[in-house]
Chains A and B, each alone.
Chain A
């Protein structure tokens, strides 16, 4: 479990500050980087000394995303990470995730908001009624259509042919 971090759609957080959370939970992840975490919080404009229960849903989500990226685990699973994020925060999210990507790290994002992640995705898997109905490398797709593929349109096309 210390090799992966899961960002759930509605994360459970204790009644603590974002800084205290890093202090008690960061120790379980050997590569957790506190400075990076505080930097991500700063980028997201989340106050590290404010208690989670006083934060909005979006603020809490941003704190968890920051922690997930700073944990430096080889695998991160994110369920609807952009739910609850305002438009500027979605942009920051894309920027931070793109910056955190490396050869040694895999980020799996499950989302209905495909537009939020268009530019981030390397490999797309479409699920419909609990089954994988499509999977492809987006670079291959882009070569075929000679432009950035529109995932929403792609999904509708795949569904109509299913």
Chain B
């Protein structure tokens, strides 16, 4: 067990990683603050524009979800960046730290730590600026759609599945692995979840001249709208295996990808 995990050694490794990468961590905080600042600026302009309707709440949670996804992906790529350079990989593998400790550190920083930091920064940013919003628009409604994405387990696919894919990419794809993984994801996503279903729907409903679907994400329940000469037809596509499906995407996929990433690191060790 000591060869796989030793708390003291893990602490020393975390200290080493922090002391070597603190500038990158600080820079990511600055970047994140800038993104949140820009979002708040957009909302400020929106509530002061003619487009703003007081009946509708200002949705502020969506920005948090948007920031958390890329933050975990970038962090996942960055934290295992040593595996994208031969010289650095060798230095990492000869360090007396187990692969499990290296993987665990990367995971802890990329997922729980990064999401927590996002949340704290978002909370601080809005607590600073919200009084100004309320000062200008006293009856401003604030949308609390947190129920949607905290109650929707599929959202975890973005953080867990996403981070696992980018970690896997960092370990196997070498230089520019972040961009390579992003390119692969977009291509595969479009092919499998946009082009493929479109072809299938066209084959199923040959008379349809316009088919609308939700975003190309496999875990989003599909609602299909078909416009044809016979009128507009809309239907939610549900499955009797929805719970199995959810279990697969939320738990099995991330776990499988994390295991593959860990095994890839072990493979390099040999």
Contact = CB atoms under 8 A, between A and B. Distances in A.
A70 B95 CA distance: 16
Interface stretch (A12-20, A95-103, A122-130): A12-20
B12 interface: yes
Interface stretch (A2-10, A33-41, A106-114): A2-10
Contacts of B95: 1, 25, 28
Interface in B1-45: 9, 12, 15-16, 19-20
A25 B16 contact: yes
B90 A8 contact: yes
Given A28-B9, A28-B12, A28-B96, A16 B20 contact: yes
A1 B96 contact: yes
Contacts of A55: none
Interface string B81-107: 000010110110011110000000000
Nearest to A10: B87
A6 B19 CA distance: 22
The size class of the interface chain B forms with chain A is: 10 to 19
The size class of the interface chain A forms with chain B is: 10 to 19
Nearest to A4: B94
A147 to B, nearest CB: 38
A24 B97 contact: no
Contacts of B96: 1-2, 28-29
B108 to A, nearest CB: 19
B9 A12 contact: no
Contacts of A20: 19
A28 B101 CA distance: 13
A5 B85 CA distance: 20
Nearest to B89: A12
B88 to A, nearest CB: 5
A14 B87 contact: no
B94 A6 contact: yes
Interface string B170-206: 0000000000000000000000000000000000000
B87 A28 contact: no
Contacts of B12: 27-28
B208 to A, nearest CB: 58
Contact of B88 (A2, A4, A12): A12
B94 A11 contact: no
Interface in A36-93: none
Contacts of A29: 96
A71 B95 CA distance: 12
B20 A1 contact: no
Contacts of B9: 28
A12 B87 contact: yes
A6 B94 CA distance: 7
Interface string A132-161: 000000000000000000000000000000
Interface string B59-99: 00000000000000000000000000101101100111100
A16 B18 CA distance: 13
Given A1-B96, A6-B94, A16-B20, A24 B15 contact: yes
Nearest to B16: A24
12 contacts: A4-B94, A6-B90, A8-B90, A8-B91, A11-B87, A12-B87, A12-B88, A15-B20, A16-B19, A16-B20, A24-B15, A28-B97
Q: State the 3 A-B residue pairs at the shortest beta-carbon distance, nearest first.
A: A2-B96, A1-B96, A12-B91
Given A11-B87, A28-B97, 6 more contacts: A1-B96, A4-B94, A12-B90, A16-B20, A20-B19, A25-B95
